[in-house]
Structure 1
């Protein structure tokens, strides 16, 4: 077994079969974990179930306490904390069993909170970037956008910005067009609304 000091408090243990995990130094002393020492299967099982599984679950709950996250975001955070894939799977299943983690709910909430500010396309890209399955994203978009079309949203933005198509000169029209493009709306939809208002 190889033991590497990560920082003042923690060590990383790598077993001969490639399994690795992180312990606090006090835990390492308790189990007599040191370079080249042997770790019995019983000791490993105890460390795994009594320390590592519980710690991964607590960490996952703690991450969800601060803010709602997607499964992909949680997995990434746990990997950064040097948790192994088996522990990550266990922790994810644990929080899912209490419905603390639900990508479909996350997607719906995200669409609901962003739809007045961004286009469907932009929201779709952002949710994909958060690791949410494409089907779940489409489902959330369909549910939340049933009442409003992209052009309705463009019209809302135009009104919010107090844009007047009749009084706007070419420069103002270009500025409004660029603003709406940055929001992720399609060029055709923007031009349709701006022409409609002229």
Structure 2
């Protein structure tokens, strides 16, 4: 048995140093100090000391976990990885997570429901994208599927349409065909399925502007023609034609513009 000869405060608020038989033995959180009623003259055996230190580790981990989740909602897996990264053992992490669940500070099912609602409201992820995001954060498949019940195909079409319309409104230097390809790829990356994308792109398309298309084609053709000036005449035309076709320009329009460029050089 060892006797507590003194207890002193640390510079860090809420932490105390415990001395046994005149020598520093361990430090504890205020919660642990109160819970075990530690005071001068109390006798402790090794099993009791171990119990106190286990409780203190839990208290410290709980405090760090509470701070971690105070900034934004987290899942059980995220909290576990956070604590393991702070070098707490599995038992401490598990006990902290259990307490946070009891306190209703952690709720993966609620996290999933809120994330689905935010994804719909912000219009930044399709159902598949939501599923992937939640799965990566350790939310169970049951909780994910339950939350996704609120994200049906009609809502997915609405969200995907908003994304497509916004993208088409800022075409940059892309041809109409290239714009459509880019929007298709964007919707795939955001987690919308092929059926939803097909429905949206059948309804939402870039505005037709022949003059703009012709200007873009001519600029791209002249640039590509200059870049391939070191290639023999036949291959030069073929390479430029292939490059412009990959950019989404119409083949007949490409032939017309290239004929004009070649004619101007003659």
TM-score under structure 1 length normalisation:
0.72
- How far the C-alpha of 1:73 sits from its partner, in A, is 0.5
1:103 aligns with 2:108: yes
In structure 2, what is the equivalent of residue 31 of structure 1? Answer: 25
Distance 1:43-1:129 versus aligned 2 partners, 3 A rule = same
Aligned to 2:88: 83
SS at match of 2:98: helix
CA-atom RMSD in angstroms: 2.7
Distance 2:137 2:46 in 1: 40
Query: Among 180, 190, 196, which residue is 2:187 paired with?
Result: 180
Higher relative contact order (CA 8 A, sep 6+): 1
SS in 2 for 1:184: coil
Specify the alignment match of 2:126 in structure 1: 119
User: Residue deviations 1:125-183, cap 9 Å, x none?
Assistant: 0100000001101111113x2584322222222223345xxxx7322222222222222
Which segment drifts farther, 58-67 or 126-135? 58-67
Aligned residue number for residue 155 of structure 1: 161
- Structure 1: distance between partners of 2:51 and 2:156: 55
Q: Structure 2: give runs of 5+ residues left out of the alignment.
A: 1-14, 27-44, 170-174, 206-266
- Give the conservation status (yes or no) of the 8 Å contact 2:165–2:204: no
Number of aligned residue pairs: 164
TM-score, normalised by the number of residues in structure 2 = 0.55
The structure with the largest alpha-carbon Rg is: 2
- Does residue 171 in structure 1 map to residue 178 in structure 2? yes
Residue 31 of structure 1 contacts residue 43 of structure 1 at CA under 8 Å; is this kept in 2?
no
